[in-house]
């Protein structure tokens, strides 16, 4: 068995280490190499990019109005009982919005019981790390019984497979399989009424500067169409471009190195908007294009010199050209990408960050891996807002290699490789073991955790079959 020291290379910490805004540190200027990178990305395409920017601002203005007027109602809701039918019905809206709620994935009483079981686990193990330490809201727990049972639950695995089919592979030879979800061990939240400490503002996970780096997302050409000045042709749902993309070049604490098609959480509580819940910008293509192009443009007149409307007008924004800086607005190596109204004014985040609708225990909320999201600044509800973070991860070589390391971490009781290190739950009373997992997980569940040989689906592409074979070798089968 691999030792804990071998599977963990990161210092101890908590979720605040993943974001500059939560860590309380200042964001340093980016090195000069990022200025050279920006010039390289658009070299010879400057006029196309300028025209593209102007088209984007016009479309954003229209869509922002639709989102602000619609609020939570613009987010599609799907019933687990009619999963395939509803996903087909709402596919267009999910692709446009990048977010959805799947209702009733687990029975309400079962999902709610998870919360009480976790609280008992914490009581038995008062050494459990959490943020903030004096008033815990987000726990450094990865291997509690409810987390494992949820990740291995047949209903959740069924939903994950169905959701992965929303993605496309432009190249059938791409080494990726969407018929076998892989488990990613993430944290959990039990947010108490009145909490204002876990006030994580608008952000995107899965790296920050990597979105511009040639040796980051550039390796798969994920955003090439945007940098070429053709954002309309960019497909957020093309999995082929993501297979070779590198999402963590800086070994950040909590920087996800796995390809997550969707981030997600399984609710353990009943919540409404403003009750410590999730907020999203439901315009996946437009928000991504804006985030990536923003560093190439600057205002002619600042907000203090012009009215808000004149400040945002396309004619007030120009290509930075010779005055361009290294700045990638809100991006810091080793941390999540953060956004705000000052850095990203045309997104109108104050009005376009909308709450997910009313949520019950057992509902599963998912959002595209590039979606801008946040949590309520203040939990104004009267009961807890509790979730298990469970993303949707396909089978790729990068993901399979991560799964091997994560499997070792589980056996040792330490946090997953992406997360802050230390002994984690290694000494926790009632920590789950492989024997526990095997007592309640189906074969599909065990495959997701890397404990059983993977099997290709009859409908798999040639690329999917090839990666299934390679993954079995990586996993030792």
Cα 405–Cα 410–Cα 416 angle in degrees, nearest 5: 55
**In this structure, is residue 469 part of a structural domain?**
no
- What CATH number is associated with residue 356? 2.60.120.330
pLDDT for 135 equals 85
**In this structure, is residue 104 part of a structural domain?**
yes
Report the alpha-carbon distance of residue 149 to residue 78 in Å, rounded.
23
Structural domains of the chain, count: 1
**In this structure, is residue 435 part of a structural domain?**
no
Element of type H or E holding 366: strand 364-368
Q: Which residue range is the domain that position 103 belongs to?
A: 28-177+184-394
Alpha-carbon distances, residue 438 vs 125, 141, 205, 288, 410 (angstroms):
24, 20, 32, 41, 13
pLDDT for 24 equals 61
**In this structure, is residue 330 part of a structural domain?**
yes
DSSP state of 359: B
Report the alpha-carbon distance of residue 312 to residue 302 in Å, rounded.
10
pLDDT for 334 equals 85
Minimal CA–CA distance to 111: which of 359, 369, 345, 334? Answer: 359
Crossing angle for the helix pair 46-70 and 284-293, to the nearest 10 degrees: 140
**In this structure, is residue 95 part of a structural domain?**
yes
**In this structure, is residue 231 part of a structural domain?**
yes
**In this structure, is residue 232 part of a structural domain?**
yes
Q: How far is CA 445 from the centre of its chain?
A: 22
Report the alpha-carbon distance of residue 378 to residue 37 in Å, rounded.
38
CB atoms under 10 Å from CB of 329, counted, come to 14
Q: What's this model's pTM, rounded to 2 decimal places?
A: 0.93
Which stretches in the chain have pLDDT values below 50? Answer: 1-8, 15-16
Report the alpha-carbon distance of residue 234 to residue 242 in Å, rounded.
13
**In this structure, is residue 136 part of a structural domain?**
yes
pLDDT for 251 equals 79
């Amino acid at each position: 068995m691999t030792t804990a020291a071998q599977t963990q290379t990161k210092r101890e910490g908590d979720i605040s280490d993943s974001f500059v805004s939560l860590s309380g540190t200042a964001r340093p200027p980016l090195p000069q190499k990022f200025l050279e990178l920006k010039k390289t990305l658009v070299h010879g395409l400057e006029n196309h990019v300028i025209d593209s920017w102007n088209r984007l601002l016009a479309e954003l203005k229209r869509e922002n109005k639709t989102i602000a007027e619609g609020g939570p109602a613009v987010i599609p809701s799907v019933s687990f009982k009619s999963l395939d039918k509803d996903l087909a019905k709402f596919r267009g809206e999910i692709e446009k919005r990048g977010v959805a709620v799947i209702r009733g994935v687990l029975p309400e009483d079962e999902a709610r019981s998870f919360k009480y079981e976790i609280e008992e686990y914490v009581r038995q193990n008062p050494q459990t790390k959490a943020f903030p330490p004096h008033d815990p809201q987000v726990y450094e727990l990865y291997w509690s019984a409810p987390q494992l049972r949820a990740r291995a639950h047949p209903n959740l695995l069924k939903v994950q497979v169905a959701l992965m089919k929303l993605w496309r592979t432009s190249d059938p030879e791409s080494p990726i399989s969407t018929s076998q979800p892989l488990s990613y061990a993430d944290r959990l939240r039990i947010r108490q009424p009145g909490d204002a400490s876990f006030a994580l503002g608008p952000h995107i996970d899965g790296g920050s500067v990597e979105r511009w780096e040639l040796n980051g997302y550039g390796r798969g050409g994920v955003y090439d169409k945007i940098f070429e000045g053709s954002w309309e042709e960019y497909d957020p749902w093309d999995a082929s471009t993501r297979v070779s993309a590198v999402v963590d070049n800086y070994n950040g604490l909590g920087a996800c190195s796995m390809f997550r098609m969707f981030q997600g959480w399984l609710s353990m509580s009943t919540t409404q908007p403003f009750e410590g819940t999730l907020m999203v910008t439901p315009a996946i293509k437009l928000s991504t294009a804006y985030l990536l192009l923003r560093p190439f443009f600057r205002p002619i007149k600042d907000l203090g010199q012009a009215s808000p409307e004149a400040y945002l007008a396309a004619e007030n924004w120009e290509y930075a050209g010779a005055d361009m800086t290294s700045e990638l607005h809100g991006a810091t190596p080793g941390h999540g990408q953060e956004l705000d109204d000052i850095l990203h004014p045309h997104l109108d985040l104050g009005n376009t960050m909308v709450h997910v609708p009313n949520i019950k225990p057992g509902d599963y909320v998912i959002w595209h891996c590039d979606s801008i999201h946040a949590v309520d600044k203040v939990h104004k509800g009267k009961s807890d807002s509790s979730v298990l973070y469970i993303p949707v991860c396909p089978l790729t070589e990068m993901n399979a290699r991560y799964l091997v390391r994560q499997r070792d971490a589980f056996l040792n009781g330490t946090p997953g490789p992406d997360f802050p290190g230390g002994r984690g739950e290694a000494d926790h009373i009632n920590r789950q073991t492989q024997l526990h997992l095997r007592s309640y997980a189906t074969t599909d569940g065990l495959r997701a955790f890397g404990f059983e040989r993977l099997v290709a689906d009859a409908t798999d592409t040639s690329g999917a079959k090839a990666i299934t074979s390679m993954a079995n070798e990586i996993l030792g089968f």
